[in-house]
C-alpha cells in the first residue's frame, strides 16, 4: 500500500495535512510554480490533494534557489528540505490540542472566529492572523458556525508556527470561552427567528462596540449569532459588559414602547373609584392593559350603534 501522496528525491508528501501544510508553506514564500484553484470542500478531494502534493514536489524541484546550488554541495540542499520537514513536525497539533475547537458550542465558535481574525499581538509573524488565514486554502468567509469550526481547525493545522506558539493562542481562546460562560443567559431576550429584532440588535452592537466581526450575516439567525459574538469579543471589564447588557435591553424596550404608541393619543378620564377597581380586576382577568380594555369597550359599543360604519 502506498504510504505517500507524492514523492521525489527531495521530499515525500505523506498525507492530507502534510499536503496542505506544505502547500501553504510554499505559497507564503512564492515558491509555487502555479496558483491552482483550491476548493476546501471539493467533491473530488482526493484528486485535489494529489494535485496539490504533486505541485509542491514539482515546485521544489524547479526552484531557482535549489537548482543553482552546485552539485558538490548537495547536502546543503537536503539540509534546507530537512529544515522544512522539521518545521512541519514541530508544528503538528494532536487531537487533544484541538479538542477545545471541537467541543465548544456554536456561540463560542463564532467568538473564536472573530478573536482569531483580530489577534495582532506579538507572534512569530508579527501580524494579524487574518493575513495568514488568507494565504491558506480555506473559505474566506464561512457562511455558518459549522463551517467556521471546520476552517478554524484547518487553520491551526496549516499554520506554520511551532506547536507551543499555537497552544498560546488556544489558551487565549480557552480564557475567552470561560468569560463567555459568565454571560451564558444574557441574550435570552433576543430571538433568532425575529428578523426585525435581530437587525436592530446587530446594528446596535456594530455601532457601539468597536469590534471587527469578520462575519457577513445575511439571515436573521446569522445576525443573531454575530450580535452575540461581537459582544463576547468586546475586551471590556465584566462590570462594563453588565452595564452594556442593561443598556441594550433598555434601548430595545424603549423602541418597542415607542412603536406601541405610534398612532395613539393620550387622554385623561375621571371615573369613580368603584369603576377603577373593576377595571383593575378586568385587566388581570383578561391579561390586558387598562388601555386595551377601554379600547375594546369603545369599539364594541361603537359597533352596536353604528354597525355599518
At residue 108, the pLDDT reads: 96
Q: Is residue 136 part of a domain?
A: yes
For residues 78 and 129, membership in a common domain is answered with: no
For residues 251 and 282, membership in a common domain is answered with: no
Q: Which among 125, 158, 182 is the end of a domain? A: 182
State the Cα–Cα distance between residues 119 and 131, nearest whole angstrom.
10
Q: Is residue 53 part of a domain?
A: yes
Contacts of residue 20, defined as CB under 8 A and 6 or more positions apart, other chains included, come to 49, 52, 136, 137, 154, 157, 158
At residue 111, the pLDDT reads: 95
Q: Which among 91, 122, 156 is the end of a domain? A: 91
Q: Is residue 266 part of a domain?
A: no
Which sign, positive or negative, has the C-alpha torsion 245, 249, 250, 252?
A: positive
- Overall domain count for the chain: 4
For residues 237 and 294, membership in a common domain is answered with: no
For residues 174 and 108, membership in a common domain is answered with: yes
State the Cα–Cα distance between residues 59 and 52, nearest whole angstrom.
10
Question: ∠ CA 190-192-198 to the nearest 5 degrees?
Answer: 65
From the centroid of its chain, how far is CA 116? 9
For residues 242 and 292, membership in a common domain is answered with: no
Considering only the C-alpha atoms of the chain, give the largest distance between any 2 of them, rounded to a whole number of Å: 111
For residues 72 and 111, membership in a common domain is answered with: no
CB 40 within 8 A of CB 139: yes
Q: Is residue 152 part of a domain?
A: yes
Q: Which among 119, 149, 182 is the end of a domain? A: 182
Domain range holding 297?
Answer: 273-305
- Kindly list the averaged pLDDT for each block of 10 residues, start to end, along the chain of length 309: 70 87 86 75 69 86 61 62 88 94 95 87 64 82 91 92 93 95 93 93 92 86 94 94 95 85 67 80 81 79 73
For residues 130 and 204, membership in a common domain is answered with: no
Amino acid at each position: 500500500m502506498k504510504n505517500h501522496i507524492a514523492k521525489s528525491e527531495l521530499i515525500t508528501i505523506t498525507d492530507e495535512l502534510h499536503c496542505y501544510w506544505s502547500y501553504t508553506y510554499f505559497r507564503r514564500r512564492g515558491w509555487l510554480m502555479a496558483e491552482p484553484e483550491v476548493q476546501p470542500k471539493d467533491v473530488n478531494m482526493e484528486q485535489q490533494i494529489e494535485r496539490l502534493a504533486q505541485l509542491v514536489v514539482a515546485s521544489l524541484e524547479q526552484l531557482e534557489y535549489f537548482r543553482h546550488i552546485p552539485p558538490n554541495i548537495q547536502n546543503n540542499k537536503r539540509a534546507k528540505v530537512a529544515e522544512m520537514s522539521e518545521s512541519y513536525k514541530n508544528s503538528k497539533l494532536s487531537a487533544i490540542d484541538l479538542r477545545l475547537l471541537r467541543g465548544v458550542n456554536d456561540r463560542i465558535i463564532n467568538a473564536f472566529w472573530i478573536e482569531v481574525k483580530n489577534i495582532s499581538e506579538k507572534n512569530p509573524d508579527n501580524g494579524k492572523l487574518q493575513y495568514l488565514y488568507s494565504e491558506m486554502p480555506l473559505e474566506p468567509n464561512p457562511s455558518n458556525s459549522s463551517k467556521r469550526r471546520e476552517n478554524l481547525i484547518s487553520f491551526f493545522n496549516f499554520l506554520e508556527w511551532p506547536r507551543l506558539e499555537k497552544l498560546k493562542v488556544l489558551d487565549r481562546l480557552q480564557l475567552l470561552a470561560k468569560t463567555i460562560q459568565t454571560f451564558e443567559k444574557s441574550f435570552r431576550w433576543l430571538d433568532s427567528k425575529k428578523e426585525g429584532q435581530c437587525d436592530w440588535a446587530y446594528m446596535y452592537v456594530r455601532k457601539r462596540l468597536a469590534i471587527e466581526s469578520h462575519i457577513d450575516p445575511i439571515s436573521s439567525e446569522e445576525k443573531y449569532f454575530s450580535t452575540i459574538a461581537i459582544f463576547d469579543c468586546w475586551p471590556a471589564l465584566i462590570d462594563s459588559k453588565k452595564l452594556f447588557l442593561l443598556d441594550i435591553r433598555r434601548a430595545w424596550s424603549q423602541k418597542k414602547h415607542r412603536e406601541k404608541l405610534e398612532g395613539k393619543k393620550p387622554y385623561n378620564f375621571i371615573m369613580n373609584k368603584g369603576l377603577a377597581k373593576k377595571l383593575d380586576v378586568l385587566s388581570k382577568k383578561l391579561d390586558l392593559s387598562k388601555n386595551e380594555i377601554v379600547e375594546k369597550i369603545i369599539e364594541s359599543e361603537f359597533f352596536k350603534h353604528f354597525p355599518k360604519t
